[in-house]
Structure 1
């Protein structure tokens, strides 16, 4: 019997050249990125962020409810714990990172206490984001129903890209009457050392956060509970709240509305576009929208961390700076602490607060949730928050950008192939 001829001759000169090209194109940037991360981690050991200015939590009436903004983690955690302690019927908690420290233990005890007094408690967390958390912390008593989103969610369908997104959402809903959503994970460092933004919502829009949690639970419950866990049922539809919309990226269903939400708002902008983001690695279409807005006279400002907790993301984002600066986009770098917020406000009327960064992972990869609010009072408060943050930031000028050294230019060039991956 004659041996089969392989479909592709792996030893063919063109095939070997292609393999070598791919290896060099992506291998070198990956090695450089790993070395940068290791060195940066070593340099940051033992260093504590400095205090930064914040605004007190501000409640703004919106429609038949209210939206409260938080820019200091301790204030947020106190109100979240109070809501859990006051729960009478149901607590739904979903988070990306949940540290086993003082704050993490405080949240765990609060939901255990709620379950023991008869409240229905459901918890979702991302297992990959919590790999370093000790196993004992992730064990809960039976009354608490827990869905740990798996480290490897694709199962045998390794070829299905829809099954690789992480659960990057942060949601708390209590009794269908109050909901929390935003950028804050759960942990002691986030309480005082990170500058982030979260919001508390009351009124009819809370039902949309409940539905977001329930849809995720029902979509993934079979993997965690097999078939013994029935679908999570929702109460009757609530009153529609036209001023507030909850947008959800659902990679399993190939649904990614958050990017479109941003682009529609930016393309409508007439006065200002002020955005705060922890990791800013946009696609060309997103950059085009910001540049076009600036060219038509819109005041476009970006507030980014001077140095984030992911140094590679910082360096990759710099690849877009020249074009934006030339177009008149202002770039400001938050000093001395990590700014982790994912927010924007436009024309004194439009606001979004949520979990999605402006990068590929958030826009077309992970499970994310953003709240879109059309309200002048909230937009004005978000502008005040932005101006407070500007007081703790440094503007990036074109002269400073052009004067960066050869090492910086070389590093930026080497990391370009990683843009589509992050």
Structure 2
């Protein structure tokens, strides 16, 4: 599979990964795990002082062990490496030989919200770390939707590599999650979002956290953009189980003449969830929303392109991401960034079937 970017959705063309613009913010978009994973390995291998990693699914398989080897080598050469994984999604990593070697080299591995907490508090025990981010030296980062598991090797996903003023905000959010996972009382800030004017567009680092003041930041930003949309809404999500307000915003946009498109996997990795997603998809289609099922394989990207605003995130359009998960997203009004996402989205639509 290759990185795709096409201006004509009828004629997909293989092109290099998105160019990196000059200016205070440099970014690069990756559209498939086949290129995302090597980019993550390269970012980690190039770290000189620190690595801060958040991940929901970090399997102890081939790709997981390969990445752990890179992290272990980094720790051995003196890099301060902290790995925060979800206790449910990455249950085997801490007990694996790769996890043990990482800790022996000086790396720090912490599990977020161990399942034992379910017994003490069933609600807070369900909170999951759903972010997927890598922050190197406090200056460079990758964020988006990709996990590390061999079964996902051929998945369609999206990650952004970015440098610039937005990165310290991501590190601050990591520090808060790290403190919580370690049982440290972190100072509650009013918001973990940050804004930075980077290059040609305005960038926001957004978080959602069920136990923080920024509880529904991504949800609120998305909802606001949907309600204010004037010309077009393009969304991608692997799982669809939206809150009523999201539903109303989508159908309301159609009623006022906005083109609304929604991209889902034709078949996801969770057949039971597909039953729910497809019912919502069919209902939205009856109300004028263009719903497309991605045919080449599993589509795991979480994207929003609304008028001149775009976002890549870990945030699914489902109840878990909205109400229970710790999430993050990179949002911008950069025309160049939007153009790259829109070209790839057109290619995805061209290889999908409409519901």
TM-score (norm 2): 0.87
Measure the CA separation in 1 of the matches of 2:195 and 2:348: 34
| Structure 1 position 137, deviation (Å) | 3.5
Asked if 1:180 is matched to 2:142, the reply is: yes
2:76 corresponds in structure 1 to 116
The whole-number CA distance in structure 2 between the counterparts of 1:217 and 1:72 is 28
- Is residue 2:173 matched to residue 1:218? no
Match of 1:366 among 314, 325, 329: 325
Matched, 1:385 2:341: no
Matches within 5 A, 1:95-106: 95-106=55-66
The unaligned stretches of length 5 or more in structure 2 are: 6-15, 188-193
1:207-232 CA deviation, whole Å, 9 max, x = no partner? 1111111110012212xxxx7xx989
Q: What per-residue deviation string (whole Å, max 9, x for no partner) do you get for residues 263-307 of structure 1?
A: 111111111100111001112211110011111111100010110
1:252-271 correspondence runs (5 A): 252-253=211-212, 255-271=215-231
Query: Secondary structure of 2:310's match?
Result: strand
Q: 2:161 aligns with which of 200, 204, 208?
A: 200
> Which residue of 185, 196, 201 corresponds with 1:241?
196
**Alpha-carbon spacing, 1:393–1:368, altered in 2? closer, same or farther (3 Å):** same
Q: Per-residue deviation at 1:241?
A: 0.8
**Residue aligning to 1:42:** none
Question: Which residue does the alignment assign to 1:154?
Answer: 117
3-state SS of 1:279 partner: coil
CA contact (8 A) 1:57 1:75 kept: no
Rounded Cα–Cα distance in structure 2 between residues aligned with 1:240 and 1:335: 36
Matched, 1:332 2:301: no
Match of 1:135 in 2: 96
Is the contact made by 1:61 and 1:67 (CA closer than 8 Å) also made in structure 2? yes
Alpha carbons 1:346, 1:379 under 8 Å: kept? no
Residue 74 of structure 1, CA deviation: 2.5
CA RMSD of aligned residues (A): 2.3
- Is 1:350 aligned with 2:309? yes
Matches within 5 A, 1:11-90: 54-55=4-5, 56-61=16-21, 64-90=24-50
Conserved 8 A contact 1:53-1:389: no
The structure with the largest alpha-carbon Rg is 1
The count of corresponding residues between Structure 1 and Structure 2 is 331
Going from structure 1 to structure 2, the CA distance change for 1:63 and 1:53 (only over 3 Å counts) comes to closer
CA distance in 2, matches of 1:364, 1:103: 30
Q: Aligned partners of 1:231 and 1:116: how far apart in 2?
A: 29
Structure-1-length-normalised TM-score? 0.74
Superposed displacement of residue 362, structure 1: 0.5
Partner of 2:85: 125
Q: Which runs of 5+ in 1 are unaligned?
A: 1-50, 233-238, 397-422
Instruction: Kindly indicate whether the alpha-carbon contact (under 8 Å) linking 1:87 and 1:175 is maintained by their aligned counterparts in 2.
Output: yes
Q: Secondary structure at the match of 1:197?
A: strand
